[in-house]
Chain A
Amino acid sequence: MNHCMKTLMVGLTCMGLWVAGCAKKAEQDGLTIGMSQCNLGEPWRVQMNADIQQAASTHPEIKVIFKDAQNDTLKQRAQVEEFISAGVDLIIISPKEAAPLTPVVAQAYAKGIPVIVLDRRVLGDQYTCFIGADNVKIGRAAGQWLVTHLDPGAKLVELKGLMTSTPGQDRHTGFMEGIKDANLNIIFEADMKWLEANARKEMESALARFDRIDAVYAHNDPGAHGAYLAAKAVGRESAIKFIGIDALPQEGQVYVEQGILAASFEYPTGGQEAIDTALKILKGESVPKEITLSSRIYEAKP
């Protein structure tokens, strides 16, 4: 037991030193940007951080400190407070939730620290700039794409992300707007919770029930990929068009390139734009209050 305690103590001391070492970096000269990411559990958000890092690396004068709130609103609030007290020059936040994080963002803004809100919104106008993509618009684009690429009367399967989450709802709403006037039928819809394994399972059910499926619209690319694998397992993949959203370079773009997906609609991370905007702000230039990112469509070569 004694031995265990000693090991534990040494371990904790090492950890403490490591953490202290990490913290020290913030005290260097130059411009410091604090970036609070709500959750690094999703590849898309990993990509967002990577994009920011990439964009920042071309500007040696700025230093970005990344923090991961691990899907915890209170933790994220604390992180912003830390940024404020550390006196960073600018804060980028991709908030987990709007309402609980609004006060702390406003607090930073009031202290004169510019705040760029990325992807998800906060309430009110106490921030410098919001950069985000529009899920409804992307969903609409996906719907319109199917309208032009399918014959009337086509049968669709929609694999939804999570209908309790805003992106899921928006991607659904937009899609429904996009196919509103066309003669397309959604014959099967299911929540796949953004997960490939679930999407595959749900698609298997759809395939078992319906002999004719013309297209699958999945709320993210892994979902579309899972659906493709399910169809491939029963030899029906060539009869179905699969489309997904996000178009991350190592996921959706690859699937499109391989011909697995007919199209993938980029949901931009805004990392590059955030750094560009940050530089403008720090140089004293004026920036718009709201920047809506444009989405690219990646299509398979015919």
Chain B
Amino acid sequence: MKDLKTPGRPWTSSPSARALGALVAVLLLGALFNAEGAFFKWGTHRDMLRAVSVFGILACGMTGVIISGGIDLSVGSILALASVTFSLLTIHWHWAAPWAVLACLGVGMACGLCSGALVAKAKMQPFIATLAMMVFARGLAKWVTGGEKISQAVKQSDGTFAYVDLPPLFKWIDSRILYDNISVVTLVFLTCLLLCWVLLNKLRAGRYIYAVGGNEEAARLSGVPVGLIRIVTYGVSGLCCAVAGMCQACQEYQGDPEAGAGYELSAIAMVVIGGTSLNGGKGSIWLTLIGVLTIGYLDKILSINAVGEDKRLMLTGIIVVAAVLLQKSRR
């Protein structure tokens, strides 16, 4: 009644504009609490991007799963499994890097395909199937390592430790390129993002992922191989976990079977804060990027201001709710 001119929707109603709004708000917060100018140094942003990359890679895979109407709780555990596998193969067994990388990707994908099959073929609830995978993969990671970190110190039969050299790949992934301006892990993250974008927006499989999430039955009756698509999304998520796990191992210079505990919740939060619907069918990988940056910056701002853990948790909770409310409010 008031607005007679434009029958079209206001720009604020587009999901990406809303997601960007949350990001801008967080950035403004950073500019306000800049910790004696530390926020305005490029190094801060570069470090934030490095720290958030592992989560971002997990969120890439998670985006596909959530758009297809599922959820993957196993990402943190598969990350740990991949991280110990990679360390074991390269540090202790001296495999050449390409084979180790391939083997790790294989392990991650196998885990993902396994949860996918449980969801698609055994018709288990995604929550249950991936919860089982989460517990199983964590157990497997602990079993493989005997509960200890896989590092340069190799236990000898007499109980003493001998030290082996770190493979060059570790140092390379943990380094920065482009005149020290960007971490390699960040580039790995951006590559994953780009590949997922191609999958979701350019490939037929991607359209099918949206269709399955939007209306599974209608998609099935339109000839979409629903089961296969579900398995593929979890497989891709598993692959992303493997990539993230290798990045994590390289950044810690060791494989930690306890790594990535609770990462699944961060990854889901990043996807959801971007505006991808947990009901499936809606969302995009770019929204996830915005979500990753929002959480990453939020974390960084709290960190450079040395905010205590207690307040940090409370503030994070409040800001996550605020961001999601901003997403939801219409008009």
Number of residues of chain B lying within 8 A (CB) of chain A? 43
Does A200 interact with chain B (Cβ within 8 Å)?
A: yes
Proximity string of chain B (181-223) to chain A, C-beta cutoff 8 Å, 1 when within and 0 when not: 0010000000000000000000000000000000000000000
Among residues 264 to 316 in chain B, which have CB atoms less than 8 Å away from a CB atom of chain A? 299-300, 303-304, 306, 308-309, 312
Does A97 interact with chain B (Cβ within 8 Å)?
A: no
Q: Shortest distance in angstroms between B86's beta carbon and chain A's nearest beta carbon?
A: 16
B303 touches A46 (CB 8 A): no
A250 touches B309 (CB 8 A): no
Q: Which of A188, A191, A196, A249 contacts B256 (CB 8 A)?
A: A196
From B256, which residue of chain A is reached at the shortest CB distance? Answer: A196
- Contact A250 to B252, CB < 8 A, known contacts A4-B122, A191-B308: no
- Contact A190 to B306, CB < 8 A, known contacts A43-B148, A249-B153, A254-B153: yes
- Which residues of A sit under 8 angstroms from B50, Cβ to Cβ? 204, 233
- Contact A201 to B51, CB < 8 A, known contacts A208-B38, A226-B252: yes
Among residues 103 to 141 in chain B, which have CB atoms less than 8 Å away from a CB atom of chain A? 122
B303 touches A163 (CB 8 A): no
B148 touches A258 (CB 8 A): no
Q: Shortest distance in angstroms between B30's beta carbon and chain A's nearest beta carbon?
A: 12
Q: Shortest distance in angstroms between A43's beta carbon and chain B's nearest beta carbon?
A: 6
Q: Shortest distance in angstroms between A181's beta carbon and chain B's nearest beta carbon?
A: 25
Among residues 214 to 240 in chain A, which have CB atoms less than 8 Å away from a CB atom of chain B? 222, 225-226, 229-230, 233-234
Instruction: Report whether over half of chain A's contact residues are helix, strand or loop; otherwise say mixed.
Output: helix
B152 touches A254 (CB 8 A): yes
A197 touches B248 (CB 8 A): yes
The number of inter-chain residue pairs (CB within 8 angstroms) is 106
A290 to B50, CA, bound (A): 47
- Which residues of A sit under 8 angstroms from B256, Cβ to Cβ? 196
A188 to B300, CA, bound (A): 14
Does A41 interact with chain B (Cβ within 8 Å)?
A: yes
- Which residues of B sit under 8 angstroms from A234, Cβ to Cβ? 43
A40 touches B43 (CB 8 A): no
From B160, which residue of chain A is reached at the shortest CB distance? Answer: A249
Does A185 interact with chain B (Cβ within 8 Å)?
A: no
Q: Shortest distance in angstroms between A193's beta carbon and chain B's nearest beta carbon?
A: 8
Q: Which of A4, A43, A200, A205 contacts B38 (CB 8 A)?
A: A205
Does B151 interact with chain A (Cβ within 8 Å)?
A: yes
Measured CB to CB, the residues of B under 8 A from A are 35-36, 38, 41, 43-44, 47, 50-51, 54, 122, 142, 146-149, 151-153, 155, 159-161, 163, 174-176, 183, 248, 251-253, 256, 258-259, 299-300, 303-304, 306, 308-309, 312
Nearest 9 CB-CB pairs, A to B? A191-B309, A204-B47, A250-B153, A205-B303, A209-B38, A205-B304, A46-B147, A254-B153, A208-B38
